[in-house]
Amino acid sequence: MDYRVKPGDLQEDQVTSYLESQTARLPSSFYLGAALASMAVSLTLKAYGKDNLALFVGQWAAPFLIIGTYNKMVKQHGSDQTHHNAPSVIHSAAS
Predicted local confidence at residue 61, as pLDDT? 97
Displacement of CA 64 from its chain's centroid (Å)? 9
Instruction: Identify whether the C-beta of residue 60 lies closer than 8 Å to the C-beta of residue 53.
Output: no
CA-CA distance, 83 to 74, in Å (whole number)? 13
Q: For 31, phi and psi rounded to 5 degrees?
A: -70, -35
pLDDT in tens, 48-72: 999 999 999 999 999 999 999 988 8
**pTM of the entire structure?**
0.68
Question: Which residue did the predictor score with more confidence, 43 or 17?
Answer: 43
